[in-house]
Amino acid sequence: MTKRLDPTEFIGLIEKDADIIIPLSNGEPHRLLDLLEAYYEKLHNVKVHQMLALRERDYINGKMKGHLSHISYFLSGATRKAYWEGHVELIPNVFQEMYRLLQKTAKKPMVMAAASPMDEHGYFSLGTNADYAAEFIGEAPFVLEVNKHMPRTFGANQIHISQIAGFIENDVPLTEGISPIITEKDQKIAEYITKDIQDGDTLQIGIGAIPNAVMKMLKDRKHLGIHTEMLTDGIVDLVETGAVDGMKKLSHKGKIIATFAFGSQRLYDFLNNNPSVEFLPVSVVNDAYEIAKEDHMVSINATTEVDLYGQCASETVAGRYYSSSGGQADFARGVRLSKYGKGYVCMHSTAKNDMISRIKLNLSPGSVVTTSKNYVDNVVTEYGIARLHGKSLSERAEALISIAHPKFREELMQEAKEFGLIK
């Protein structure tokens, strides 16, 4: 008996009012989604639930309403415009709670995911992903898109053939991330942060030019550990130079822990059959108490705006939704619980060629708070580090003004005094 499906058999598995759960990034099964669109008229009120979709599609753009629609948990280039135009729903969340959220809202859950080919023991690997999808193994029907280009990885992302409803094959190269150009400002911000990072620290590093610049400056460190939601190419560099070996970690000693990976083919080759890397569900990786098991945890993330209280708006741009919360707040809380934890939220001090300050008395109208002032530890711009933990509101305001662009400091100080924030 084979579980290989033809298109008609696949469509026949999908119930009326089904909630289809798709992993983020390269866990996205392109051929299965192609088939959903090709046979959409046979579907009734089917909803696709996903963070960070890779490809723009007709159902995302509202062309299959009543049959097939998209619910987003983190906007991407494939969904952002559709959300702005009213075709996509966006559900607020923190990454760590995605599984519980989907358990609550998905009445007829079915998971569709990309996977590596089956091994001799009958197991597929979800490859670059565990995220929220792996947590449904044994709890919901799975249909896999088996791809020989997907790396076989280890951790809690293994699924046996007995646990799936079926599979199709689609051998296509994985999508590769484009490394952003590191600017002089990025370099300066990274220099401030790396001065604080010591041998033996465990790192969570986000995506973007500043985190990439940080990793390039850590090649002389020793015994660094990795506990991060997302693995990128910079971590491969740190392993190859010997900076990362995980031997000072207090949990998962010697292991690189993540919940998904996105980068170049070099990263995917590094992951393939690499027992030093383990992909665990996001409810574990991003759990504040799990993060805090590491006494020397360091978290580095980005934001778009900070007000003089220290509130970070990281998912809106000029008051318009651009992404979502992701795991920033998870790690901000985790490093606060870590014995010697340190958290850094980074940004350029200005936008639009130095015309707009990103440090403001109040956040832009329409902006939302991603990370509470209570959990923000350090804010970093190209002008330095504002160390906020344990500081009064007036001390916070003064520290943040000191790392604003010089042309805005006098104005910010005057606003803070008029507002009564600084006496």
pLDDT of residue 84: 97
Helix, strand, coil shares of the chain, percent, nearest 5, are: 30, 25, 50
Beta carbons of 341 and 334 less than 8 angstroms apart: yes
Q: Are strands 123-125 and 158-160 parallel, antiparallel or unpaired?
A: antiparallel
Positions of E strands within 235-383: 256-258, 260-261, 277-279, 297-302, 305-307, 312-313, 316-317, 320-321, 342-346, 350-351, 356-357, 359-360, 378-381
What is the rounded distance in angstroms from the CA atom of residue 74 to the CA atom of residue 90?
7
The token pair at 24 is 């983020």
The string of DSSP codes covering 378-409 is EEEETTEEEE-TT--HHHHHHHHHHTS-HHHH
H or E stretch at 271: helix 265-271
Catalytic residues: 229
Beta carbons of 51 and 131 less than 8 angstroms apart: yes
Report angle CA 288, 289, 293 to the nearest 5 degrees.
Answer: 115
| Identity at 229, one-letter amino acid code | E
Q: Return contacts of 407-414, CB within 8 angstroms, 24+ apart.
A: 407/354, 408/349, 408/350, 408/357, 408/359, 412/308, 412/357, 412/359, 412/360, 412/361
What is the rounded distance in angstroms from the CA atom of residue 20 to the CA atom of residue 334?
31
* Per-residue pLDDT of the chain in tens (423 residues, 90 and over written 9): 589 999 999 999 999 999 999 999 999 999 999 999 999 999 999 999 999 999 999 999 999 999 999 999 999 999 999 999 999 999 999 999 999 999 999 999 999 999 999 999 999 999 999 999 999 999 999 999 999 999 999 999 999 999 999 999 999 999 999 888 999 999 999 999 999 999 999 999 988 899 999 999 999 999 999 999 999 999 999 999 999 999 999 999 999 999 999 999 999 999 999 999 999 999 999 999 999 999 999 999 999 999 999 999 999 998 899 999 999 999 999 999 999 999 999 999 999 999 999 999 999 999 999 999 999 999 999 999 999 999 999 999 999 999 999 999 999 999 999 999 998
Tell me the whole-structure pTM to 2 decimals. Answer: 0.96
Beta carbons of 298 and 194 less than 8 angstroms apart: no
Cα dist from 283 to 62, 133, 141, 253, whole Å: 31, 11, 20, 19
pLDDT of residue 1: 52
Residue count of the chain? 423
Q: Are strands 384-387 and 350-351 parallel, antiparallel or unpaired?
A: unpaired
Q: Per DSSP, what are the bridge partners of residue 125?
A: 158
For residue 96, report the phi and psi dihedrals to the nearest 5 degrees: -60, -30
Cα dist from 371 to 277, 338, 392, whole Å: 29, 17, 18
Q: Are strands 378-381 and 384-387 parallel, antiparallel or unpaired?
A: antiparallel
**Nearest in space to 141 (alpha carbons), one of 18, 292, 311:** 18
What is the rounded distance in angstroms from the CA atom of residue 7 to the CA atom of residue 34?
10
The token pair at 92 is 């607020």
The token pair at 260 is 């998904």
The token pair at 370 is 């991603």
Which DSSP letter does residue 177 get?
Answer: P
Beta carbons of 281 and 135 less than 8 angstroms apart: yes
163-207 residue pLDDT tens: 999 999 999 999 999 888 999 999 999 999 999 999 999 999 988
